């Protein structure tokens, strides 16, 4: 839509308020609202002022004046407000003298735009497509506390196996899934079909195309809704809208949804496999019917870049301490730094398809706690570095590996590198290896330093606290 069309759309929909949404550095939407009369055509150019000093990763108190610039292409009616409200996703800018302004270097959405521009300026391709598969859990209850003398967390799902002997105010009707047996069951075991379908209907009504929805492997309420691939920036916008709709639809029904990677011990965690491809005009660049798994040499170089920079990438695409409770060797988790057309524990998988337009690669290590603008931009920059430097993955010990990784001998597995085992290790790798992100000014040193500082602080918060398991292991020592 144009700004003029947005104002007409708001009028036609009977909007009374306008909600300005923007993303912070960790990747969460923030917002403020105003009566609709405060939205004018010049707002789409001049923006509206706000205080950026209290936003995670943004400005200090002495440099707090910021602007939001609404993007008219993102206009929808917010599906969860009681008062009809127009929703706009915004870019962030610095105000300047005499009405001048400049984009804010720590705005994740600006980073995504620069990554798309860098791709076009390279002459290699003009479009990058991204398709994330973001998994999540739907729980009936969650309780947690962390204080000087209390450390605990408790989640519950009526679907969970631990409720087979439950007594309470409601009947216990059985039909619960065993651990790791939540993939594709029908009702009555799958109790969340209608809820997921409502999420799908709401996504489609708000412009996000959906390919499928289903129960995931995690028995206590794990779910997946696959949204259609799109360009880098548009997919990042869609992913935040996806999370907003999932969380608020669950809440509408008295349930709670979480995208944290490992909320349940002993069952599958939630990942975000990211499908990627490059195009030039109408030509898909990752397809070659004579290549391994049908991929081109350009795609192999892209994979080489992803796997070479994977330890550093993990600091951005798996950016929580909880991420590394999912990325554990010996399970189905994608921890092995190889590419494969079959192994799901490989960091890069090539989905089997004979269609040139559908040929893509899938990076499986990310999870949905990542900031999608930074994550997709970083993946593109790593792939482009592989293309620019001609990094052939087979020459660097990255495969392809088609034999079953679960049945390899310990000696064979020792030859395969793994992703970092902790957030701190991933952040160390990012500090050591980030020059590829700075190419074309896509990322800045300032943004990366603040991102690492923010994530190190989160890691310290976890590291300094005793856990219930430590009491179980050491209280009687």
- Give residue-wise pLDDT tens across range 406-423: 777 788 888 899 999 999
The pLDDT of residue 349 is above 80? yes
**Known catalytic residue at 135:** yes
Average pLDDT on 423-431 reads 98
- Residue 323 CB-density burial (10 A; 0-12 exposed, 13-18 middle, 19+ buried): buried
**Known catalytic residue at 275:** no
Task: Tell me which of 216, 226, 367, 385 is the catalytic residue.
Answer: 216
The pLDDT of residue 368 is above 90? yes
Task: Tell me which of 71, 91, 362, 367 is the catalytic residue.
Answer: 362
Average pLDDT on 113-120 reads 98
Q: Which two tokens stand for residue 223?
A: 């779910």
Q: Provide the 3-class DSSP secondary structure of residue 409.
A: coil
**Known catalytic residue at 362:** yes
**Known catalytic residue at 133:** yes
Average pLDDT on 157-164 reads 90
Q: What pLDDT shows up at residue 60?
A: 63
**Known catalytic residue at 344:** yes
E strand segments, 55-121:
65-70, 76-77, 85-95, 101-103
* 120-474 CATH fold: Creatine Kinase; Chain A, domain 2 (3.30.590)
* DSSP label of 36: G
pLDDT band for position 331 (50/70/90)?
A: confident
Q: Judge contact between 6 and 72, C-beta under 8 A.
A: yes
Which residue shows structure tokens 């990747």?
Answer: 27
pLDDT band for position 177 (50/70/90)?
A: confident
Average pLDDT on 341-352 reads 89
The pLDDT of residue 404 is above 90? no
Task: Tell me which of 4, 51, 154, 453 is the catalytic residue.
Answer: 51
Give, in order, the Cα–Cα distances in Å from 268 to each of 182, 233, 327.
9, 29, 11
Task: Tell me which of 19, 24, 78, 135 is the catalytic residue.
Answer: 135
The pLDDT of residue 246 is above 70? yes
Q: How does pLDDT run across 288-316, given as a tens digit for each residue?
A: 999 999 999 999 999 999 999 999 999 99
pLDDT band for position 52 (50/70/90)?
A: confident
List, by residue range, all CATH 3.30.590.10 domains of the chain.
Answer: 120-474
List, by residue range, all CATH 3.10.20.70 domains of the chain.
Answer: 3-104
3-104 carries CATH number 3.10.20.70: yes
Q: What pLDDT shows up at residue 100?
A: 73
Task: Tell me which of 102, 117, 166, 344 is the catalytic residue.
Answer: 344
Scanning 253-371, the segments in alpha helix (DSSP H) are 297-308, 310-317
pLDDT band for position 174 (50/70/90)?
A: confident
**Known catalytic residue at 431:** no
**Known catalytic residue at 40:** no
Task: Tell me which of 19, 224, 226, 237 is the catalytic residue.
Answer: 224
Q: Judge contact between 151 and 465, C-beta under 8 A.
A: yes
Which residue shows structure tokens 């809820």?
Answer: 195
| Cα–Cα distance, 320 to 259 (Å, whole number) | 12
Q: What pLDDT shows up at residue 95?
A: 84
Q: What pLDDT shows up at residue 263?
A: 96
Burial 173-189 (b: 16+ CB within 10 A, else e): eeebbebeebeebeeeb
The pLDDT of residue 228 is above 80? yes
**Known catalytic residue at 31:** no
Q: How does pLDDT run across 57-107, given as a tens digit for each residue?
A: 787 655 678 899 999 999 999 999 999 999 999 999 988 765 678 999 999
pTM: 0.95
Q: Which two tokens stand for residue 191?
A: 């109790």
**Known catalytic residue at 216:** yes
| Cα–Cα distance, 202 to 210 (Å, whole number) | 10
Give, in order, the Cα–Cα distances in Å from 57 to each of 23, 50, 376, 450, 455.
10, 15, 19, 6, 10
| Cα–Cα distance, 134 to 375 (Å, whole number) | 13
Q: Judge contact between 357 and 418, C-beta under 8 A.
A: no
Q: How does pLDDT run across 248-276, given as a tens digit for each residue?
A: 999 999 999 999 999 999 999 999 999 99
């Amino acid at each position: 839509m144009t700004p003029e069309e947005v104002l007409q759309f708001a009028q036609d929909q009977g909007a009374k308020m306008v909600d300005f949404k923007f993303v912070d550095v960790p990747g969460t939407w923030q917002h403020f609202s105003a009566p609709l009369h405060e939205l004018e055509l010049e707002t789409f150019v001049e923006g509206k002022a706000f205080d950026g000093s209290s936003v995670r990763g943004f400005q200090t108190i002495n440099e707090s004046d910021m602007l939001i610039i609404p993007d008219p292409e993102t206009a929808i009616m917010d599906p969860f407000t009681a008062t009809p409200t127009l929703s706009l996703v915004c870019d962030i800018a610095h105000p300047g003298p005499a009405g001048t302004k400049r984009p804010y270097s720590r705005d994740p959405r600006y980073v995504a735009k620069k990554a798309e521009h860098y791709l076009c300026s390279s002459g290699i391709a003009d479009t990058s497509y991204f398709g994330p598969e973001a998994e999540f859990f739907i729980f009936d209850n969650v309780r947690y506390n962390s204080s000087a003398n209390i450390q605990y967390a408790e989640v519950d799902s009526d679907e969970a196996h631990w409720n087979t002997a439950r007594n309470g105010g409601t009947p216990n009707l059985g039909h619960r899934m065993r651990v790791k047996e939540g993939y594709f069951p029908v009702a009555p075991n799958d109790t969340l079909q209608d809820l997921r379908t409502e999420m799908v209907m709401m996504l489609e009504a708000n412009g996000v195309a959906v390919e499928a929805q289903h129960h995931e492997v995690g028995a206590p309420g794990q779910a997946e809704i696959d949204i259609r691939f799109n360009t880098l920036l548009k997919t990042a916008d869609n992913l935040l809208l996806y999370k907003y709709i999932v969380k608020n639809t669950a809440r509408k029904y008295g349930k709670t949804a979480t995208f944290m990677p490992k909320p349940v011990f002993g069952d599958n965690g939630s990942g975000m496999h990211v499908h990627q491809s490059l195009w030039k005009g109408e030509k898909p660049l990752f397809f070659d019917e004579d290549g391994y798994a049908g991929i081109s040499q350009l795609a192999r170089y892209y994979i080489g870049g992803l796997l070479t920079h994977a330890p550093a990438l993990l600091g951005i695409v798996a950016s929580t301490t909880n991420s590394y409770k999912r990325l554990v060797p010996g399970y189905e988790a994608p921890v092995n730094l190889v590419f494969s057309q079959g192994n799901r524990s490989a960091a890069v998988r090539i989905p089997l398809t004979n269609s040139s337009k559908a040929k893509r690669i899938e990076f499986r290590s990310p999870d949905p706690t990542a900031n999608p603008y930074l994550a997709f931009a970083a993946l593109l920059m790593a792939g482009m570095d592989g293309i620019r430097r001609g990094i052939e993955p087979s020459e660097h010990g990255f495969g392809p590996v088609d034999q079953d990784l679960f049945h390899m001998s310990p000696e064979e597995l020792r030859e395969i590198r793994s992703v970092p085992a902790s957030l701190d290790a991933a952040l160390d790798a990012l500090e050591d290896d980030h020059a590829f992100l700075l190419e074309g000014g896509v990322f800045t040193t300032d943004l990366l330093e603040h991102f690492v500082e923010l994530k190190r602080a989160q890691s310290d918060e976890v590291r300094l606290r005793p856990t219930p398991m430590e009491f179980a292991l050491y209280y009687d020592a």
